[in-house]
Amino acid sequence: MFRIRKEFHFSASHQLSHLPDDHQCARLHGHNYIVVVELAAQRLNADGFVRDYHDLKSLKSYIDDHFDHRHLNDVMEGPSTAENMARHFYDWCAVRWPETSAVLISETPKTWAEFRP
């Protein structure tokens, strides 16, 4: 199995108001997010790629236009947790690139969420 990954960055705020008041995520705060999309294939295409990294450029545009320096509660359906964001970005990618195998989201250098069907 061949796998490639590409990393994207954006900054955004969110608030998880369904949590108890003493939970840090119940307060308005922000993160510098990292999104990693992974694509996998049993065979390489005629150019020798799983997929050309250049093709993934549209994800950067989507992130910049809809998520970067935004309040995620205004742009996400459901709670703006890393888990829900991983699923959201996976679904967006999988429609465009059938080789999409996983999306990882980091809110901090020590925390990661992953969606992999």
Which residues are catalytically annotated?
25, 69, 107
Q: Which residue reads 């119940």 in tokens?
A: 26
Residue pair 68/49 in contact by the 8 Å Cβ criterion: no
- The Cα–Cα gap between 38 and 101 comes to 6
Q: From its phi and psi, is residue 97 left (phi > 0), alpha (psi between -120 and 50) or beta?
A: beta
- The Cα–Cα gap between 68 and 79 comes to 17
Q: Which residue reads 């935004």 in tokens?
A: 70
